[in-house]
Amino acid sequence: MKLKDSKLNNEQLIQAYRIIKKARMLDERLWQLNRIGKSTFNISGQGAEVGQVAMALNFEPDKDYFLPYYRDMAAVMVWGMSAKDILMGSLGKADDPSSHGRQMPNHYGSRAHNIVPFSSTVTTQYPVATGVALAMQIDKSKAIALTATGEGSTAEGDFHEALNFAGVQKLPMVFVIENNGYAISTPNSEEFGVNDLSVRADGYGMFGRQVNGRDFTETYLAFKEAAENARNGKGSTLIEMLVDRLTAHSSDDDQRVYRTPEDIAKMKENDCVGLMEQQLLDEKILNKDNLASIKEELADEIDKATEEAEEMPNPTTDQLMTHIYGEE
Domain count, the chain: 1
| Interval 165-187: pLDDT, tens | 999 999 999 999 999 999 999 99
Domain presence at residue 189: yes
Question: Sign of the CA dihedral 33, 36, 37, 43?
Answer: positive
Domain presence at residue 228: yes
pLDDT at position 21: 98
* Amino acid identity at 202: D
| Interval 236-272: pLDDT, tens | 999 999 999 999 999 999 999 999 999 999 999 999 9
CA distance 165 to 169: 6
Percent of the chain at pLDDT > 70 equals 100
Is the distance from CB of 79 to CB of 109 less than 8 angstroms? Answer: no
At 118, which CATH number?
3.40.50.970
Question: Does residue 327 carry a pLDDT above 80?
Answer: no
Place 326 in a pLDDT band, splitting at 50, 70 and 90. Answer: confident
CA distance 159 to 67: 13
CA distance 300 to 238: 38
Question: Does residue 324 carry a pLDDT above 80?
Answer: no
Residues forming a β-bridge with 237: 174, 207
CA distance 146 to 134: 13
Question: Quick one: which of 217, 143, 152, 203 has its CA closest to 174?
Answer: 143
Phi-psi region of 236 (alpha: psi -120 to 50; beta: other; left: phi over 0): beta
Angle at 174 between CA 86 and CA 160, to 5 degrees: 100
Domain of residue 259: give its range: 18-312
Is the distance from CB of 117 to CB of 139 less than 8 angstroms? Answer: no
Domain presence at residue 324: no
What is the total residue count of the chain? 328
Question: Does residue 228 carry a pLDDT above 80?
Answer: yes
CA distance 194 to 256: 26
Place 212 in a pLDDT band, splitting at 50, 70 and 90. Answer: very high
Domain presence at residue 1: no
Rounded alpha-carbon distances, angstroms, from residue 58 to 15, 48, 79, 247: 14, 17, 10, 27
Domain presence at residue 11: no
Place 323 in a pLDDT band, splitting at 50, 70 and 90. Answer: confident
| Interval 152-161: pLDDT, tens | 999 999 999 9
- Taking the CA atoms of the chain, what radius of gyration do you get in angstroms? 19
Is the distance from CB of 313 to CB of 95 less than 8 angstroms? Answer: yes
Helix (H) or strand (E) holding 25: helix 10-35
Helix (H) or strand (E) holding 150: strand 145-150
Place 320 in a pLDDT band, splitting at 50, 70 and 90. Answer: confident
Domain presence at residue 210: yes
Domain presence at residue 322: no
